Amino acid sequence: MFKARIEVTLKSKILDPQGKAIESSLRNLGFTKLSKVRTGKNIDIVVDEPDAEKALELAKSACVKLLANPVTEEYEGELFDMSGKSVAKFSSSNSSRSEVKVKS
C-alpha cells in the first residue's frame, strides 16, 4: 500500500481570482512584501497496490482522468510508502492524458 499526495493548481497563465482576493486581504493586513498568491487543492489518496510502479501508474492515471482538468490545471504528486518515505514524484509535465488508456 502507498499514499499519494496530489496538488492541483491553475496553470500560471490562468487568472486565480481566489489568490487575488487573498493577496488583497494580505495587503490590507500590512503584508506588503507578499505577492503573487496562487491557490490550489490538495488531494490525499491511499493506493491499495503492493507494487510501487503500478501504484504510481494508478495515481498518475487518476490525475489524468479526473483530478485535474488539462485545459486549465496542472498537478504535482508524490507517492509515499506507508511509513511516510517518499517513493516517487510525478507531475502533469511528465504524463499526459493521451498516454493513459481512458475507458469510454
Partner 1 sequence: MTGKVGVVVFPGSNCDMDAYNAFGSVLNQKVELIWHKETSLSGVDVVVLPGGFSYGDYLRAGAIARFSPIMTEVIKFAAKGGLVMGICNGFQVLVEAGLLPGALLRNANLKFVCKQVYLRTETTSSPFTSGLEKGQVLKVPIAHGDGNFYADESTLKSLEDGDQIVFRYSSLNGEITPDSNPNGSIHNIAGIVNARRNVLGMMPHPERASEQILGSAQGKAVLKSVVQSLN
Q: Contact positions toward partner 1, by CB under 8 A?
A: 10, 14-15, 17-18, 21, 66-67, 69, 71-72, 104
Question: Count of CB atoms within 10 A of residue 79's CB?
Answer: 23
Nearest distance from C-beta of residue 85 to partner 1, angstroms: 28
Q: 18 or 96, CB closer to partner 1? A: 18
Q: 3 or 16, CB closer to partner 1? A: 16
* Nearest-10 Cα torsion for 93, 96, 97, 102: -130
Q: 18 or 86, CB closer to partner 1? A: 18
| C-alpha–C-alpha distance, residues 16 and 57, integer Å | 29
Phi and psi at residue 79, in whole multiples of 5°? Answer: -105, 135
Nearest distance from C-beta of residue 15 to partner 1, angstroms: 7
